[in-house]
Amino acid sequence: MYPLIRPLLFQLDPETAHRVTFTGLRLAQRLGIPVAPKPAEKPVKVMGLTFPNPVGLAAGLDKNGEYIDALAALGFGFLEIGTVTPRPQPGNPKPRLFRLPTAQAIINRMGFNNQGVAYLLEQVKNADYRGILGINIGKNAATPIQNAAEDYQTALSAVYPHASYITINISSPNTSHLRELQAGDAIGQLLAGLKATQTRLADQHGRYVPLAIKIAPDLDDNAIRHLADQLRLHRMDAVIATNTTLSRTGVEHLPHAEETGGLSGAPLTALSTHVIRQLAQALAGELPIIGAGGILNARDAQEKQAAGAQLVQLYTGLIYRGSSLIKECSDALAG
Ligand SMILES: Cc1cc2nc3c(=O)[nH]c(=O)nc-3n(C[C@H](O)[C@H](O)[C@H](O)COP(=O)(O)O)c2cc1C
């Protein structure tokens, strides 16, 4: 049905289309109307958790956790909500979301618009979903980058009892200086602090919640190796590769290509797969990889798996292909 609805949605501005789609899906789910064929069970064990299938929702689509049950009904093996910051913030001025349909791509500079961690946790508590829930955390725009660790610690402590795993987002291109946390001494300091907090929280709550670090595709091979060394040293539980790219290769002459922000979708596919392959080599199996970036069909998902990803996540592919992409990818992946 999505190919029929899509031209209508694409008449709307992208943020309105997003709201209309997910409010509609939520209504359908509450009325018990089935909206998507369920993928077959294909359990995969990663980070000590058993995922019913390897295809998840990538962060950013449900930043406030307002559509958890509706998204679960689409057949995802896991959901990642957020990015949430400690305090609410409006994000960047609109327009901040752009479609590049001929390239099956999106550019966004949302800037972590979200209602804050307390609001998100209310939504989580009100949801019926009992499947695997990742909560993706970030820093507030107003927090200076040298104090970023404090925001991550605050958000980590707040979401810890409610998450199956927690993602540390240090790779959004839309929060100034954020990506600097991936490099040099900054990454080691950040990860050491997060590990210490995780250990303390595991004691306090009697439950170990894995930490995944989400990285950018715009890292050269040396930077990837350095990052991989730090992830191993500080015993992180997984890495998510990748976020959106600053590159415009392949879309140079298209309308909106000049907009500031991160590019996702088909032009990102090969770049993120390259990062996954480099990471897999550098990590030598010590940490699992969750692959994201330009998965538009089953073959893209298989290539992520062949490059070393144990799980995959979708975002832009859902906008262009609809929810049938979930089952298509899950069916194509080895369990
Ligand atoms: C509109 C939009 C908003 C996003 N917001 C977030 C976010 O808040 N946190 C995050 O970690 N990634 C965010 N992402 C990145 C996606 O989770 C994903 O890593 C990236 O888009 C690559 O996958 P894709 O090509 O399948 O979209 C966002 C992506 C888009 C398109």
pLDDT at 12: 97
- What element of type H or E holds 333? none
Q: Say if ligand 1 is within 6 A of residue 315 CB.
A: yes
pLDDT at 139: 98
pLDDT at 260: 98
**Taking the model in full, what pTM does it have?**
0.99
Report the SS3 class of residue 49: strand
Pocket test for ligand 1, best of 13, 182, 315 (most atoms within 8 A of CB): 315
* Residue 204 Cα to ligand 1 middle (Å): 32
Q: Say if ligand 1 is within 6 A of residue 294 CB.
A: yes
Residues 22-64 have pLDDT tens digits of 999 999 999 999 989 899 999 999 999 999 999 999 999 999 9
Residue 276's CATH number: 3.20.20.70
Q: Say if ligand 1 is within 6 A of residue 217 CB.
A: no
- What element of type H or E holds 72? helix 68-72
Residues 112-153 have pLDDT tens digits of 999 999 999 999 999 999 999 999 999 999 999 999 999 999
| Closest ligand 1 atom number to CA of residue 266 | 25
| Closest ligand 1 atom number to CA of residue 18 | 1
Q: Percent of the chain scored above 90 by pLDDT? A: 98
Tell me which residue range forms the domain holding 234: 2-332
pLDDT at 334: 78
* pLDDT at 335 > cutoff 80: no
| Closest ligand 1 atom number to CA of residue 317 | 26
| CA distance linking residue 312 with residue 333, whole number of Å | 10
Closest CA to 60 of 213, 243, 239: 243
Q: Say if ligand 1 is within 6 A of residue 178 CB.
A: no
By DSSP bridging, strand 238-241 and strand 49-51 are: unpaired
Phi, psi torsion values for 255, nearest 5 degrees: -55, 140
Res. 1 pLDDT band, cuts 50 70 90 = confident
- Strands (DSSP E) along the chain, which ranges? 44-46, 49-51, 55-57, 78-84, 97-100, 105-108, 132-137, 165-169, 211-215, 238-241, 262-265, 289-292, 311-314
Q: Say if ligand 1 is within 6 A of residue 169 CB.
A: yes
* pLDDT at 235 > cutoff 80: yes
Active site residue 272: no
Which tokens hold the place of 29?
Answer: 């789910």
* Residue 83 Cα to ligand 1 middle (Å): 9
pLDDT at 303: 98
| Closest ligand 1 atom number to CA of residue 296 | 26
Residues 83-121 have pLDDT tens digits of 999 999 999 999 999 999 999 999 999 999 999 999 999
Which tokens hold the place of 218?
Answer: 């715009």
| Closest ligand 1 atom number to CA of residue 138 | 9
Tokens 């954020």 -> residue: 178
**Exposed, middle or buried, 284 (CB in 10 Å: 0-12/13-18/19+)?**
exposed
| CA distance linking residue 316 with residue 295, whole number of Å | 8
Q: How many domains does the chain have?
A: 1
Residues 168-223 have pLDDT tens digits of 999 999 999 999 999 999 999 999 999 999 999 999 999 999 999 999 999 999 99
Report the SS3 class of residue 13: coil
Pocket test for ligand 1, best of 244, 251, 295 (most atoms within 8 A of CB): 244
- Indicate which residue's Cα is closest to atom 13 of ligand 1: 60
Q: Say if ligand 1 is within 6 A of residue 96 CB.
A: no
pLDDT at 117: 98
Long-range contact set of residues 47-50: C-beta below 8 Å, sequence gap at least 24: 47/165, 47/210, 47/212, 47/237, 47/238, 47/288, 48/208, 48/210, 48/237, 49/132, 49/164, 49/165, 49/210
Q: Say if ligand 1 is within 6 A of residue 293 CB.
A: yes
Mean pLDDT, the chain, integer:
97
* pLDDT at 264 > cutoff 90: yes
* Residue 244 Cα to ligand 1 middle (Å): 6
